[in-house]
Amino acid sequence: MDHPIIFYDGVCGLCDGLVQFVLRHDRNAVFRFAPLQSEFARNILTPRGFDPSDLETVHVFAGDGVVMRGRATLFVLTRLNQPWSGIAVLLGILPTPVLDLGYRILARFRYRLFGQYDACPVPDPRWKGRFIKTEGI
């Protein structure tokens, strides 16, 4: 894969906000996107020992490696333009358990704070090529 893929909860308002944020700030079109609820996510993540049914975890697949939770978020931010890449460098000094604790707390309350969709939102036509084609989500 030439582009890192962000696997996200396709019905989560916060996750959709993350996707929209990345689309706006990823001026070099580095990232591609796929919901965790897709067969594609199962085909990529499961053989590598990750559980795509864990909807409280964002995963980024790049090359043959997968990063998740706080480190996945930092991976994404480091590849965006300033100030986001600089913020990622600063946050990157935090130990992974600290990053993941913050991530898990936010993930636990994400539906209450940011809402939940009945189905995965259809991408804006201008971004459609950035989404991995998935069926029946």
Residue-wise pLDDT tens digits, 102-127? 999 999 999 898 888 887 777 788 88
- Among 43, 60, 42, 66, residue whose Cα is nearest residue 52: 42
Which pLDDT belongs to residue 136?
46
Question: What's the pTM?
Answer: 0.90
pLDDT confidence tier of residue 74, bands split at 50, 70 and 90: very high
Cβ atoms of 87 and 80 closer than 8 Å:
no
Residues with Cβ within 8 Å of residue 136, at least 6 apart in sequence: none
